[in-house]
Structure 1
Amino acid sequence: MDLKQLLEKKGFICDMDGVIYHGNRLLPGVKEFLDWLQKEEKNFLFLTNSGQNTPRELQQKLERMGLAVDASHFYTSALATAHFLNSQAPGCSAYVMGDHGLQNALYDAGITYNDVNPDYVVVGEPAGYGLAMITKAVRLVNAGAKLIATNYDLTGPTESGIAPACRALLAPIELATGKQAYYVGKPNPLMMRTGLKLLGVHSEDAVMIGDRMDTDIVAGIESGLDTVLVLSGVTTREECLNFPYRPRLILDGVGDIPAAAQTLAL
């Protein structure tokens, strides 16, 4: 796939952290990319492994950065986790290690909070993460609760550098219990299939844009989408060589896409 073929795609699934922003800092070329998506009437979906915020909050976050995007264009690992648990065990309960984005998604799906004898221990990326929380989770899993993680990210980009993400926070619980968590977010095909359904475009006509080889790019490949790695997040061009699979295209950032459209139109 070259840039011309990329421009012809009907649907765009985009990661957010490292692709659209770092923390509260908008990345270069993002406004132009979004303007191009809307002008060309492309179907697009922001599919994020972060479950800290609700779609409405993500909409407002982009609004503060000067971007107007409807809340229907966002799908998070928190929503995917809530959907998965509700399909597995409707009316179940969970001890939740996560912020309000995850808690709200579970509540809306009818899953109640339970720190005594829950069916599940659900781990996201809580701001108040600490030993007391880990210890409670370990005891509940040892007592029979099933271990669920919202996403497979080991680290994530922030304004001030790389920070530990869900898989790193989950490691002590897995090590202490000897139990392996089930990871719901990318690269799990469950989340990608739901994303494609929300996008309303067949996988052959869609592209996955992300900054991580081990979640975004492998998720796109395994779901039959073309893939674009942007170097604006955690993965470098050199690090790509460590993986047994490749993105179809590597760009400095999403701003390269509208720039290419402008060049080809001349």
Structure 2
Amino acid sequence: MLSALGRIDNFILESDGVIYAGEKLLENAQESINTLQNLGKTILYYPNSSTRSRESFKQKLSKFGIETETNKIFTPSYITAEYLKKYHPEINKVYVLGKEGLKEELQLAGLTIIEPDDFEEHTNASSEILKNFDINKEIGAVIVSFDESFSFKKVMLSSLLLERKDCLFIATNNSKYLVVEGKKYPGVGPLIAAISKVSNRSPDIITCRPNPMMTHLLTENLPEIDLSRTCIIGDSINTDLSFARNSGILSMLTLSGVTQPQELETVLTTDINFVIHSLGKIYQVLNR
């Protein structure tokens, strides 16, 4: 652990499964963050959940006694909004499957959110619905993120829009599930699968892990950050390890979230740089 700290100046922290589980702060997580900051380390936050804007994520951290600046937070909602603003400025209207945090960031980026609340949920008149729903073909993208109100209607309208090849199919991530207090909850992946099955299209882009777009934004927002001395602390072998590899940064896996201690044998066969039981162990090791 001590040798690792000597190689790392900047830590990118996942949230759910690393800092907290649902609404419960994990043991000694706050103390570890404080310890790293006292050692002069820069702490950056990259939650995998697209349910929050940067501001609402900052407020959640504050409830746990963790304070940070907005420019050190990179939520999937913010990354997705920045992607559209930078690479598709021609798009003004988007159809969104997601929660208020995503919609807030998209609106801050100047995009108009389209929602199909005026339509009946079950109907066979799909072509007429599409004609009325997007009569001038103004919707430039379907964006899929975590959505607890996922429904038949949303699959239908998403798929109808995606019949237009000029309509982008964007997903914030492709997580199969998240683990909260030992229980699996469906992630974004199953929602993507439903739409892909009907539309016969895969996402044109997944904006967050393992996509390195976050580190592109990081170097733009904080040019003093040296990626070669940066490490992500995450709980997923697949997404976090791939993101680290794609971004040219180090990786530290915790066994407090998606990846469980009984999977340690599998972990040891990967090229992940460091493994710790939990973020809280940093505080325990450095304060013996």
Q: Is the 8 A contact 2:228 2:249 kept in 1?
A: yes
CA RMSD, aligned part only? 1.9
Secondary structure of the corresponding residue to residue 28 of structure 1: coil
Q: CA deviation at 1:164?
A: 0.9
Tell me the equivalent position of 1:78: 77
Tell me the equivalent position of 1:128: 149
Task: Identify the range of structure 1 (53-62 vs 110-119) with the bigger mean alpha-carbon deviation.
Answer: 110-119
Tell me the equivalent position of 1:173: 195
Q: Is the 8 A contact 2:211 2:246 kept in 1?
A: no
Q: Is the 8 A contact 1:213 1:240 kept in 2?
A: no
Q: Is the 8 A contact 1:155 1:163 kept in 2?
A: yes
Q: CA deviation at 1:236?
A: 2.4
Structure 2 distance, partners of 1:59, 1:37, is 19
1:258 partnered with 2:283:
yes
Tell me the equivalent position of 1:97: 97
Structure 2 distance, partners of 1:83, 1:170, is 21
Secondary structure of the corresponding residue to residue 122 of structure 1: strand
Q: CA deviation at 1:91?
A: 4.5
Quick one: which of 193, 197, 202 aligns to 2:226?
202
Q: CA deviation at 1:196?
A: 4.8
Give ranges in structure 2 of 5+ residues lacking alignment.
116-133
Secondary structure of the corresponding residue to residue 95 of structure 1: strand
Q: Residue type matched to 2:195 in 1?
A: I
> Quick one: structure 1 residues 196 and 168, their matched pair in 2 at CA, closer, same or farther if it must change by over 3 Å?
farther
1:218 partnered with 2:242:
yes
> Quick one: structure 1 residues 103 and 91, their matched pair in 2 at CA, closer, same or farther if it must change by over 3 Å?
farther
If the length of structure 1 is used for normalisation, what is the TM-score?
0.91
Structure 1 distance, partners of 2:213, 2:239, is 13
If the length of structure 2 is used for normalisation, what is the TM-score?
0.84
Secondary structure of the corresponding residue to residue 252 of structure 2: strand
Q: CA deviation at 1:246?
A: 2.7
Q: CA deviation at 1:155?
A: 1.0
Task: Identify the range of structure 1 (5-14 vs 107-116) with the bigger mean alpha-carbon deviation.
Answer: 107-116
**Alpha-carbon displacement from aligned partner over 1:93-126 (angstroms, at most 9, x marks no partner):** 2101111111111111112123523110000112
Structure 1 distance, partners of 2:13, 2:220, is 15
Aligned-pair identity (%): 26
Q: CA deviation at 1:240?
A: 5.8
Task: Identify the range of structure 1 (190-199 vs 92-101) with the bigger mean alpha-carbon deviation.
Answer: 190-199
Secondary structure of the corresponding residue to residue 246 of structure 1: coil
Secondary structure of the corresponding residue to residue 75 of structure 1: coil
Q: Is the 8 A contact 1:7 1:261 kept in 2?
A: no
Q: Residue type matched to 2:71 in 1?
A: S
Give ranges in structure 1 of 5+ residues lacking alignment.
none
Structure 2 distance, partners of 1:108, 1:7, is 37
Tell me the equivalent position of 1:142: 163
Q: CA deviation at 1:238?
A: 4.7
Q: Is the 8 A contact 2:98 2:145 kept in 1?
A: yes
> Quick one: structure 1 residues 38 and 82, their matched pair in 2 at CA, closer, same or farther if it must change by over 3 Å?
same
Tell me the equivalent position of 1:112: 112
Q: CA deviation at 1:241?
A: 5.1
Task: Identify the range of structure 1 (110-119 vs 134-143) with the bigger mean alpha-carbon deviation.
Answer: 110-119
> Quick one: structure 1 residues 173 and 240, their matched pair in 2 at CA, closer, same or farther if it must change by over 3 Å?
farther
Which runs of 4 or more aligned residues in structure 1 lie more than 6 Å from their structure 2 counterparts after TM superposition? none
Q: CA deviation at 1:129?
A: 1.4
Q: CA deviation at 1:69?
A: 2.8
**Alpha-carbon displacement from aligned partner over 1:232-252 (angstroms, at most 9, x marks no partner):** 001124546557733111111
Q: Residue type matched to 1:255 in 2?
A: G
Tell me the equivalent position of 1:7: 5
Q: Residue type matched to 2:16 in 1?
A: D
Tell me the equivalent position of 1:245: 270
Q: CA deviation at 1:6?
A: 2.0
Q: Residue type matched to 1:177 in 2?
A: S
